[in-house]
């Protein structure tokens, strides 16, 4: 066991002398008799549970995918033997042992794996996504490395409470190759967060040997970030528990993050059914000699525990697991009618008349209005904080300028690490804060999409409603300034296609203020998309009580002949086109959606009933967009009110060009809208 930062270290190839250690270098026993008996009992439950899970999966009683942790029980129990109830863990697709060691009831875990309503996630998570946030289990995760940024966010929230709680992020050796690993360590080290990154090096990344995947050992990766490192023989539960007691003590005392490597051996395949043809028989034969339960039994025998006592513990473990199986088998399946439950938290009721506030203040730029909304949210709610690249300095467009000076502990600059920024927001939101994190350009979505697509949007659903993620992701876009193909994209369709997200795109200053305040107060993850071409557009500053309900469109120009639906900056092109058409005697009703999800279908359909014609105009490319969804709405629910084909106006189906002459040709504008309205009005 090593608790100091080594200059270099290599992977342990699992000699028994390395993995079977039962005393410290100074000769002191690692655990006393009572503690080791307790640890043995916990490992026995996990072992029996995993063996039964394998059988039930083979027999078709557990669906989906299953990844067992047989042989790695010493890591889970040892890592969490000294954990506190208020500590938080994130886990991996091989997480059964971790969640049981943290305190999840075996009954609820088994029911979850069988897809039952009594499961810890009401049958919505399954083997790879077991969670119970009420006891600090922020979830196993089917995406390699994805739990690390979430644990960083949880650690940020725990640090703010100042009570010594710690986040423990479990991951396998394969995850050290992911960007999430590096970004998470970097931010945790930068901010001195109370988190232990616990690597279970079972020497295989799916079907590949760790030695063939990583050019440097885990210890050197810790050195690169200035993070203290500890390496334990992972199959010796006493060694792991004793080492983690020291690590946790240092982290709880404010020592910042720690990287731990527990060297163990994966006994079974990557998944149940994996024949492991890529492994040498001698390696598998080695498993019995370094079995963590066998090592613990041997040590307990040295401490005077009889075989009869140990057999009694084994029988008790079998009884616990048998009870869990009976409970799960006899539990009801979820009601099929509830398949769509837990996607969104019920939204708070906002009465527009009561919360509209005054929009008659001093004319201000869109930038100042957004800044005021953020300022007022920070002032009103201590759980709100801002994080992102350069937000303390005002960000690239100056939206957050001056906020760090007023709220120095809650306006946080981050490194250029979009995955970790989004994960920071997800984990902090799960832990009770209300993060507003910034994605500098909408185009950078691809860098961090997993944390939005697979984490923020799905965690409430996958936990059966056990968690809320009150997270706001602010970002911006805008074509027309020769920003090129990687800084001009309008990607709201990607966001709108992900159940669980709310997508907001304001056009006016008053709506930007009211919608942002509503988004921050909402208990769902909200993607708040600003158009940078509106930052300098002036309008009256709203009063602090101004709110705009999410999911309500607004008729910004009434008309009788054609319904024209738009959002964000394109609303102004729509209004300009409507004025031009009005001079011709064509009265166009312009609707500003304001919120893409939830989509205000009723307002669109009511308008269509009056006009019988529909045109949709947006800045994004026409193909496969939100406009197509609105067109589908019109030709289904609004079919009998249509007197003409639906027309869509938007950018051509290509990346945004750089040269101004090409960009003008590519993007849509008022003239294109006028032509589309003429076409449908002529029918």
Peptide bond before 639: cis, by omega within 30 degrees of 0?
no
307 catalytic? Reply is: no
What are the CA-CA distances from residue 204 to residues 127, 200, 209, 263 (Å)? 20, 10, 5, 11
Please check whether residue 199 is in contact with residue 120, taking contact to mean a CB–CB distance below 8 angstroms.
no
Phi, psi of 409, deg, nearest 5: -90, -5
Question: What is the Cα 571 distance to its own chain's centre?
Answer: 32
CA–CA dist 579, 593 (Å, integer)? 19
Secondary structure class of 112 (helix, strand, coil)? helix
The 3 state secondary structure assigned to 145-164 is CCHHHHHHHHHHHHHHHCCC
DSSP 488-519: ----HHHHHTSTT-EEE---SHHHHHHHHHHH
Strands 363-365 and 195-201: unpaired
* Block residue for tokens 């970790």: 420
Closest to 598 in 3D by CA, of 555, 531, 553: 553
Q: Which two tokens stand for residue 580?
A: 């031009």
- Enclosing H/E stretch for 20: none
What are the b/e assignments for 612-627, b being 16+ CB within 10 Å?
A: bbbbbbbbbbbeebbb
Phi, psi of 201, deg, nearest 5: -85, 90
CA–CA dist 576, 566 (Å, integer)? 12
- The residues with which 259 forms a beta bridge, in sequence order, are 197, 229
Phi, psi of 53, deg, nearest 5: -60, -40
CA–CA dist 424, 185 (Å, integer)? 12
Catalytic entry in 67, 96, 182, 487: 487
Secondary structure class of 538 (helix, strand, coil)? strand
Q: Which two tokens stand for residue 154?
A: 């949880």
Phi, psi of 384, deg, nearest 5: -80, 135
Please check whether residue 344 is in contact with residue 524, taking contact to mean a CB–CB distance below 8 angstroms.
yes
The contacts of residue 176 (CB under 8 Å, 6+ apart) are 199, 214, 218, 221
What are the CA-CA distances from residue 228 to residues 98, 188, 195, 222 (Å)? 23, 12, 12, 7
- The residues with which 557 forms a beta bridge, in sequence order, are 590
Catalytic entry in 286, 418, 438, 521: 418
Q: Which two tokens stand for residue 680?
A: 């449908």
Closest to 563 in 3D by CA, of 667, 648, 485: 648
105 catalytic? Reply is: no
Please check whether residue 507 is in contact with residue 533, taking contact to mean a CB–CB distance below 8 angstroms.
no
Please check whether residue 151 is in contact with residue 167, taking contact to mean a CB–CB distance below 8 angstroms.
yes
Please check whether residue 145 is in contact with residue 92, taking contact to mean a CB–CB distance below 8 angstroms.
no
Catalytic residues: 418, 487
């Amino acid at each position: 066991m090593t608790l100091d930062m080594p200059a270099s270290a290599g992977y342990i190839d699992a000699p028994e002398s390395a993995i079977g250690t039962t005393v410290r270098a100074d000769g002191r026993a690692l655990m006393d008799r009572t503690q080791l008996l307790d640890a043995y009992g916990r490992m026995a439950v996990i072992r029996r549970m995993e063996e039964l899970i394998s059988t039930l999966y083979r027999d078709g009683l557990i669906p989906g995918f299953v990844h067992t942790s047989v042989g790695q029980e010493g890591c889970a129990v040892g890592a969490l033997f000294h954990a506190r109830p208020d500590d938080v863990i994130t886990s991996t697709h091989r997480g059964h042992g971790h969640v049981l060691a943290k305190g999840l009831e075996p009954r609820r875990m088994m029911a979850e794996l069988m897809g039952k309503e009594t499961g810890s996630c009401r049958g919505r998570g399954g083997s790879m996504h077991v969670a119970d946030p009420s006891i600090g289990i922020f979830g196993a995760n089917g995406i390699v490395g994805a739990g690390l940024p979430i644990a960083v966010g949880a650690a940020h929230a725990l640090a703010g409470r100042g009570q010594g709680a710690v986040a423990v992020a479990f991951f396998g050796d394969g995850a050290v190759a992911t960007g999430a690993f590096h970004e998470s360590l970097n931010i945790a080290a930068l901010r001195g967060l109370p988190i232990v990154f616990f690597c279970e090096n079972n020497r295989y990344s799916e079907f590949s040997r760790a030695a063939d995947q990583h050019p440097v050992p885990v210890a050197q990766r810790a050195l690169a970030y200035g993070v203290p490192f500890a390496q334990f023989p992972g199959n010796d539960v006493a060694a792991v528990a004793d080492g983690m007691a020291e690590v946790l003590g240092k982290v709880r005392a404010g020592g910042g993050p720690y990287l731990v490597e527990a060297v163990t051996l994966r006994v079974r395949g990557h998944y149940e059914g994996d024949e492991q043809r890529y492994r040498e028989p001698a390696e598998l034969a080695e498993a019995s000699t370094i079995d963590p339960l066998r090592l613990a039994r041997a040590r307990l025998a040295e401490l005077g525990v009889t075989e009869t006592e140990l057999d009694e513990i084994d029988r008790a473990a079998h009884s616990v697991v048998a009870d869990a199986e009976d409970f799960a088998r006899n539990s009801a399946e979820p009601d099929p009618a509830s398949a769509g439950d837990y996607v969104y938290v019920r939204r708070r009721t906002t009465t527009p008349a009561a919360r509209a506030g005054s929009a008659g203040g001093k004319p201000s730029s869109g930038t100042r209005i957004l800044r005021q909304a953020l300022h007022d949210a920070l002032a009103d709610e201590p759980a709100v904080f801002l994080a992102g690249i350069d937000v303390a300095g005002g960000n690239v467009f100056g939206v957050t300028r001056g906020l760090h000076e007023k709220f120095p502990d809650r306006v946080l600059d981050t490194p250029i690490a979009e995955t970790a920024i989004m994960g920071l927001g997800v984990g902090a939101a799960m832990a009770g804060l209300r993060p507003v994190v910034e994605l500098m350009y909408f185009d950078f979505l691809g860098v961090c999409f997993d944390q939005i697509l697979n984490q923020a949007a799905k965690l409430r659903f996958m936990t059966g409603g056990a968690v809320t993620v009150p997270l706001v992701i602010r970002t911006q876009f805008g074509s027309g300034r020769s920003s090129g193909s990687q800084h001009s994209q309008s990607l709201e369709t990607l966001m709108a296609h992900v159940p669980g997200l709310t997508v907001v795109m304001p056009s006016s200053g008053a709506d930007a203020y009211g919608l942002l305040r509503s988004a921050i107060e909402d208990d769902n993850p909200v993607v708040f998309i600003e158009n940078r071409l509106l930052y300098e557009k002036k309008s009256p500053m709203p009063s602090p009580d101004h709110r705009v309900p999410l999911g309500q469109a607004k008729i910004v120009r009434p008309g009788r002949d054609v319904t024209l639906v738009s959002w964000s900056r394109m609303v102004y092109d729509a209004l300009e086109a409507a004025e031009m058409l009005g001079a011709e005697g064509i009265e166009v009703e312009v609707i500003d959606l304001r919120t893409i999800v939830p989509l205000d279908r009723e307002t669109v359909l009511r308008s269509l009933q009056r006009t019988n014609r529909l045109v949709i105009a947006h800045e994004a490319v026409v193909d496969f967009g939100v406009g197509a969804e609105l067109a589908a709405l019109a030709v289904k629910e609004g079919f009998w009110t249509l007197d003409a084909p639906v027309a869509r106006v938007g950018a051509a189906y290509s990346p945004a060009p750089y040269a101004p002459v090409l960009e003008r040709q590519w993007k849509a504008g008022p003239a294109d809208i006028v032509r589309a309205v003429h076409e449908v009005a002529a029918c």
